Structure 1
Amino acid sequence: MKKRYAVCGVSNRAIGMFIGPMLTTFAGTCEVVALLDIDPKRHEVCKSKYPQMADVPEYTPEQFDRMVAEAKPDVILAVGRDDTHAGYIVRALEKDLDVLTEKPMATTGADCRRILDAEARSKGKVTVTFNYRYAPIHTKIKEMVLEGKLGRITSVDLNWYIDTYHGPSYFKRWNRIREISGGLSIHKSSHHFDLVNWWIGQKPVEVFAYGALNYYGPDGELNPKKEDGRYCDTCDVRQDCQYYTRWTTRSQNQSVKDDHLGTVKTDGAYSGYRPDACIYDSEINIEDTYAATVRYDGGTLLSYSVNFSLPYEGYRLAINGTKGRLETMEYHAPSRTPFPTEVQTIDYFPLFGSKETIHVVQREGGHGGGDPVLLEDLFLGPDPKRPYSILSGSEDGAYSIGTGEAVWRSVKENRPVRLEDVLSGNLQPV
């Protein structure tokens, strides 16, 4: 019997990652019965891409209750802007509906608390679509930890790099406003914190962090002109902006293309939304650089950093344990990397013995081959042959977000921040 899905937030991510596969690959198990968005043009874009959606009813956020009553969904798919997730999740749980939500599940620890409490009272369950877990290299790391090859995990070093194509995209869009996105320690780093939490099977307890806005905002060193309200598509000094000219030729304007949204035109394709705002605007109130230490309930210590303006994209990871160490490095976007890159491998160093280099079978698909397998688990049920849990629930979502909020709170307050305080929902605004 097909499950009935109502899509709340008809973003390009919703269309490409979820709606398209539900209408094709998983048509035997899924049915999209409603679309909900604040912008009717998003409904038009979705239906123009998938004409078979023509008769699917459309709703506005204020019509959520009516949508549930009329469309009778089994599952709410929360995939709009990050700050909308919590509201749809809680309202769905109050109606005993299941929820699939894009990460981050929410943008604050307080909203995480609302979701956890609502789920405890509900027959519905929350699933968070952490697709990074599903990349073959990441599942292999999990398996090595479970096999005991590293022993008891003592420390993790994770350094994440975002390049000068992907990094600025966050500062052109709504992500640059903390009140909407929670900042990049939540929007982006929640992916990274979830991976570590899952790999080591422990919960974060306390965070201390430093952070800064080094590259973007009006004081960015490469800002060609201090002036607010500019857009790449019409900027009169864009040829003096190195972030623009690095990726855009004079004859081919690609300024509004980014890794998350694809190409969104600036000529009114969506109402009141432009993804090409100036990366040097003074309304930017988030950081672009973090360094953090996280203490876990099992004794592991995480040393984490992320930088949103680097020459290449990827990460370096080391996990240390009482029986050995593993190391790996990934280039996320080799087509944009200005030098040859090798296929990712894992180096394993037993505490006493010789090094092993492990080659992992690669898969096609987004997020390192993780997206297709995640979709199978979501729409066909978890793989019964997999010997460990991988789908994320509300607690996973809350601890990843709580760590991200603890990071920026520590930056602002110059003190260690405990996860139990963040997830209590009682902390005052900074």
Structure 2
Amino acid sequence: MKKYVICGVSGRAMNMFIGPMLQTFSTHAEIAGLLDVDPRRFEVCFEKYPQLKGVPVYSPEQFEDMVRGTGPDAVIVAGADHTHETYIVKALEHDLDVITEKPMAVTGEECRKILEAEAKSKGRVSVTFNYRYMPIHARIKELILEGKIGRVTSVDLNWYIDTYHGASYFKRWNRKRSNSGGLSIHKSTHHFDLVSWWIDQTPVEAFAYGALNYYGPEGELNPRKEDRRYCGTCNVKQDCAYYMRWFGRSREAVPKDDHIGEAAFGKGPGSYTNYRPDACIFDSEIDIEDTYTAAVKFDKGALLSYSVNFSVPYEGYRLAINGTRGRLETQEFHAPGRIPFPVPVQTIDYFPLFGSKETIHVVFTEGGHGGGDPLILEDLFLGPDPRKPYEILTGARAGANSVLAGEAIWKSVKSGAPVRIQELLYQESASR
């Protein structure tokens, strides 16, 4: 059995790691310590998982004490994005393995520090890119490996985040670039990692446009230009289309997969110290974009046309992968309970360069993120599945590439010029 300590007792830590470790992997994983900046988070965790009472808890400055006192085999990093690099590097300095939430870091400079620390360490980093594990995505990987479309030449990927999920990022800590790196890093690293993994290529250059179109004080649906409002206490929320679409006039209207959590109204058992995840989506402190369109070049010649929009009527994506022998297409509608029209079961269409279309059906699995969560957890806590003919668990280098691509996107937006992606490893954060 391996001993784990957890840095960042977030909702993600509790739902993605702590719950499964206690319920499914209890014979393989022991939680030896918890670390967080907010003592209230320990209380919330113990309320949800009473069996953890008695596990020692630590503040950020007590990381060394935690390692000495608990003797862990690995560290799980699941706090806010800007904290990841600190704990990853410290863990590697102790020769400990690391499991980290995506993104691995928020700047190229932080990625470089992690790669350098890993090179000197006996420990290794795994990044939890669960999108790779979704059965539909694994099947796309297999079709490319089988040579169905030949050499990949281009990819078209358009990602849509609906008004419920999209708005949630602008209510929480993600809305500040210093916390998250912006959504081209916090969210789009998922997408860049997927594409790189599918086609087995490394991103080398990007050019992008981006804007803050929906949120922030200039958002067209802002009912009043006034800072420091919160959904739970706002006196104009009934004039806010985003609030009324998902919350209505009563809390009962909230969907079950509430991204802003129990603490949405700054009270109750999920509330935290000096933090509310229901800040106004029209606040002037928001300094990130909500819309991107980008072109990305890869080292073996493939080209990616990418867009993401965080205020769309439905959630999902459209994908096409072109090759010298054919084309793959698929479309996903995510969270059908939030879509006000019937949606089809996702399939993959294969178009040979010369011939008729073939529709490929995939056996789906239960669990979060399209069935990906249970599968990645098995690899993390039981070891990689030896029957898989390809690598799927993400390491530090792939984690860095996804962050570098996301940083290149927003830097290109700011500069209006193409950005050499790998060069960002060697640029100091002061240039952010």
User: Is 2:347 the partner of 1:345?
Assistant: yes
* Structure 1 partner of 2:232: 233
**Which runs of structure 2 are paired with 1:199-238 in the superposition (5 Å)?**
199-238=198-237
TM-score with structure 1 setting the length: 0.98
**Which runs of structure 2 are paired with 1:185-200 in the superposition (5 Å)?**
185-200=184-199
TM-score with structure 2 setting the length: 0.97
**1:245-296 superposed Cα distances (whole Å, 9 cap, x missing partner):** 0011213366798654532251272101101100000000000000000000
State how far apart, in whole Å, the 1-side matches of 2:230 and 2:407 are.
30
User: Is 2:330 the partner of 1:331?
Assistant: no
**Which runs of structure 2 are paired with 1:15-414 in the superposition (5 Å)?**
15-252=14-251, 259-265=258-264, 266-267=266-267, 269-414=271-416
1:190 and 1:403 in contact (8 A); partners too: yes
Unaligned runs of 5+ in 1: none
1:109 and 1:398 in contact (8 A); partners too: yes
2:246 and 2:255 in contact (8 A); partners too: no
State how far apart, in whole Å, the 2-side matches of 1:259 and 1:138 are.
25
State how far apart, in whole Å, the 1-side matches of 2:423 and 2:107 are.
12
SS across alignment from 2:304: strand
Cα deviation, residue 51, structure 1: 1.3
Amino acid at match of 2:114: I
SS across alignment from 1:159: strand
SS across alignment from 1:33: strand
State how far apart, in whole Å, the 1-side matches of 2:259 and 2:108 are.
24
* Structure 2 partner of 1:423: 425
2:168 and 2:260 in contact (8 A); partners too: no
Question: Aligned-pair RMSD on alpha carbons?
Answer: 1.3
**1:350-369 superposed Cα distances (whole Å, 9 cap, x missing partner):** 00111000010111111010
Count, aligned residues: 429
SS across alignment from 2:314: coil
Amino acid at match of 1:178: R
* Structure 2 partner of 1:8: 7
SS across alignment from 1:84: helix
Cα deviation, residue 333, structure 1: 1.0
SS across alignment from 1:236: coil
Unaligned runs of 5+ in 2: none
Cα deviation, residue 49, structure 1: 1.3
State how far apart, in whole Å, the 1-side matches of 2:343 and 2:214 are.
26
2:6 and 2:33 in contact (8 A); partners too: yes
State how far apart, in whole Å, the 2-side matches of 1:231 and 1:257 are.
21
